[in-house]
Amino acid sequence: MQQTTLKKGLSGFALKYLGMALMVLDHIEYFFAYTGKVPLFFSMLGRLAAPLFLFCLIEGFTHTRDRKKYFLRIYLLSVLMGAVQFSFYNIGYALVRPDGFFPQNQMLASFSILIVILQGFDWCARKKWGRGFAAILIPLLLPIVTAVLMMAFPNPYFQFSLNLLAFTLLPLHTFIMDGGTATLFFGAILYLCRKNRKLQAAAFVIACILWDIVRLHLMAPDLAVRDFFTTAYEWMEVFAVIPMLCYNGTKGHGSKGLFYWFYPVHIYLFYALSCLFYRLI
């Protein structure tokens, strides 16, 4: 994504703008579904947004000149959003919509954890095994360590502090509703296959289908075929490979800062509007 010469296909910025548009459709359905007026296809199209941003994250991580700075931009915003979500759970009852809904969008936390794991892969590739395995295993095992500490020390103040850490400074992939463990799995697949675009796309499709088959079998084993086009349509994220395959390897032109701030700003704006409309209708 470092080159800016004109080539056929979609640049990195074009993919991000496409992902942004699809994300807005998805979040319109997410925040305003209670009205009964939002078409379901908004959310179906929105399934493509997260994979596109994930793909762009892999490209950005691979080509950035300063990985530490790249990580910090995403991580600091994720900490801020995690603190907001924690407040909804613990002290922000007055801000919760009357139907009990509040935003649980923590994709940036998922991306933060993933970047640490990707750096671990990179260290292992350079035979820095200690750093590499630590960067991969610690984020993956942190939820288990946290659960053990929760059981070992039932003090409410300790548990409150541990929960705060889990939503902010030390996010747990199993705690994250938006992305979480699935994002780490798909991100690892995209990264490890990044040198062959067709293989990358095929691996992503297979990973998505396998993940959804296992998840849906465990959660809803009695699903009918029609349900995959009405309620269980997460699998539609596989269509994100179409724009991925159109990526031309160039960075393109656009506002880099927009993508960092648009995510939290539009989420809280949509949530505020949904609370306002809820009281008016």
Q: Does residue 7 lie within any of the structural domains?
A: no
Whether residue 96 lies inside any domain: the answer is yes
**Displacement of CA 185 from its chain's centroid (Å):** 11
Tens-place pLDDT, residues 120-149: 999 999 999 999 999 999 999 999 999 999
The mean per-residue pLDDT over the stretch 47-54 comes to 97
The CA distance from 111 to 182, in Å, is 11
**pLDDT reading at 216 higher than 90:** no
Q: How many domains does the chain have?
A: 1
Q: Identify the pLDDT of residue 42.
A: 96
In a domain? residue 4: no
In a domain, 6, yes or no: no
pLDDT at position 1: 42
68-102, pLDDT tens digit by residue? 999 999 999 999 999 999 998 887 777 899 999 99
- 57 in a domain, yes or no? yes
Could you list the residue range(s) of the whole structural domain that residue 137 is in?
12-280
Rounded Cα distance, 19 and 55, in Å: 10
The pTM (predicted TM-score) of the whole model is 0.92
Assign 202 a pLDDT band (cuts: 50, 70, 90).
very high
- Does the residue 148 lie in any domain? yes
In a domain, 219, yes or no: yes
Burial level of 62, CB count in 10 A (0-12/13-18/19+)? middle
Residue 108's nearest CA partner among 238, 265, 271 is 265
| Residue-wise pLDDT tens digits, 4-30 | 445 788 999 999 999 999 999 999 999
22 occurs within a structural domain: yes
Per-residue pLDDT tens over the stretch 219-260: 677 777 777 777 788 899 999 999 999 999 998 888 878 888
